[in-house]
Chain A
């Protein structure tokens, strides 16, 4: 079956421009996550959507970052007025319901490599 897909795979942009990164989760997965992986650093949690609940935005580093998930499926991460420190690989993951004791593992997409010049 199809896994998590992300587009574009690479994005080069100029400082100050806005970018949109897209994530298509595995069909039927109600939970969707965004992480950021910077060079030499681990994975940094950004935001988490679970069904119709309010998203957990606690990891968004600034108000330049936002994300939405339309129709409980596709998600878009938007970075406004990009800065050089935003350069990283942005990873999306999805899972079956992730609340309560029956925790379901996350499946990751290949990532979008963002370079801000």
Chain B
């Protein structure tokens, strides 16, 4: 079965510093990987996805993620954090090649302090 793990419940970063939110995955077959963000009192928003191609994927709001097959990781990164990036971040994996079903991680709260 496909799964993702987000090992950190919370990540704290100072504004202007680089940020990393970690995600590792376990899949049989091709990995389809996603990051979503949930701002307070709002629905989930799509940030970026990896299906195939370049290992470095660029997404919305200046975020990017690096697909690493050998380490089975898909960490979310941003070179310079903003206070407005503070939110709940979810990593997800598609549950097989012929379904739209996503399996989500437990989420990581990102706190960016001024």
Contacts and interface: CB of A to CB of B under 8 A. Distances in A.
A45 B106 contact: no
Given A43-B90, A101-B51, A103-B51, A109 B43 contact: yes
Contacts of B90: 42-43
A45 B49 contact: no
Given A33-B101, A50-B100, A105 B46 contact: yes
A45 B103 contact: yes
Nearest to B32: A103
A44 B27 CA distance: 18
Given A43-B104, A45-B101, A99-B98, 12 more contacts: A4-B43, A31-B100, A35-B104, A43-B90, A45-B95, A45-B102, A56-B101, A59-B101, A93-B44, A105-B49, A108-B44, A110-B42
Interface of B: 32, 34, 36, 42-46, 49, 51, 90, 92, 94-95, 97-107
20 contacts: A31-B100, A33-B102, A42-B90, A42-B104, A43-B90, A43-B92, A43-B102, A43-B104, A45-B103, A45-B104, A48-B99, A48-B101, A56-B101, A91-B44, A101-B51, A103-B51, A106-B100, A108-B45, A109-B43, A110-B42
